[in-house]
Amino acid sequence: MGSYRFIISGGGTGGHIYPAISIADELKRRHPDAEFLFVGAKDRMEMEKVPQAGYKIEGLWITGIQRKLTLKNVLFPIKLISSLIKASNIVSRFKPHAVVGTGGFASGPLLKAASGRNIPCVLQEQNSFAGITNKLLKNKVAKICVAYDGMERFFPADKIVKTGNPVRADLISIQENQSDALGFFGLNTQKKTLLVLGGSLGSKRINVLIADNLEFFKSLNLQLIWQCGKGYIKTYEGQNSDSVKIHAFLNDMAKAYAAADMIISRSGAGAVSELCLVGKPTIFIPSPVVAEDHQTKNAQALVAEDAAIMIKESDLEEKFKEEFLTVFESEEKRERLSKNIKALALPNATKDICDEIEKLLN
């Protein structure tokens, strides 16, 4: 038998792209001669990030349905037909042995085309509330790898395997020493440190919250590593000081996590999976503008296990300081949150997903 060929499709956000790349990297480690092709949506971030990771990608002309009436919705049927035809051509030409979908618009046409030719397909659902593309594909695929319990609400129980979400390899065993990490950021080893993460693009609402509360944090003798996003760095870089370190983007997440005593974060699926491994007390502020309100549901799944605190954006004005202090001022509470969030970590996710793919090859 010659070398294997894999198509991996997913994108739109980092939450779909990075798991896809992690899966490809692990399959490549196991099958060095394998060929890989990614399929994404034209004009989305995967068209840049996948080639940076060393893989070929082809783009489909596809977008999601907008919630309000727009020209994009009028074009949707045309884009869908065009994408189905192109996806069918890609599958015919590349002849994959297996196809993996990690969510996002492009994976719909691609997995439909592959499953129609009886090519084994695996879905990877990152969120606690299944995305629309994956729900539509549930009967066409052989296996569905999930990160949360209770996914039988969305998918056939006999296809579900709980694997967790792939995370960056350097986070699986954080060996960083806290005082070394604090030194790297130019911070004081005698002070408690708060890490603020607004997602890869930054969060306007979280940035406003942090800027409004700098005096409050100072009164607690707390220092900050604040990832504000590249679109906001000009607005906030003037607030840099000995105890507030502002970054557009954090390239060394292992050091940032190691430096932190507490974390404030969005609750995208990738962030949640990383934070379970990291095991630090975390306050989630979900983005209210994502599809199907995924982030709130992801955070609620952890709150239900007493593994994190969640504050909705609409409640920040009245609840933030009070909720923050309940964690900051209680060592017992911080230790409990740490222990409970760490218990939810699934560090072998990438390996387990690739094991499922390999079973289908045989």
Q: Which residues are annotated as a binding site?
A: 13-15, 127, 168, 200, 295
> Between helices 269-278 and 14-30, what is the axis angle to 10°?
60
Angle at the Cα of 355 from the Cα atoms of 95 and 115, rounded to 5 degrees? 35
Per-residue exposure over 1-24, b if at least 16 CB sit within 10 Å of its own CB, e if not: eeebbbbbbbbbbbbbbbbbbbbb
Report the alpha-carbon distance of residue 139 to residue 115 in Å, rounded: 10
Report the alpha-carbon distance of residue 94 to residue 19 in Å, rounded: 22
Pairing of strands 57-60, 282-284: unpaired
Virtual torsion, Cα 186, 188, 193, 197, nearest 10 deg: -10
Binding site residues for UDP-N-acetyl-alpha-D-glucosamine, as ranges? 13-15, 127, 168, 200, 295
Number of alpha helices (DSSP H) and beta strands (DSSP E) in the chain: 16, 13
SS3 content of the chain, % helix, strand, coil (to 5): 50, 15, 35
Amino acid at 253: M
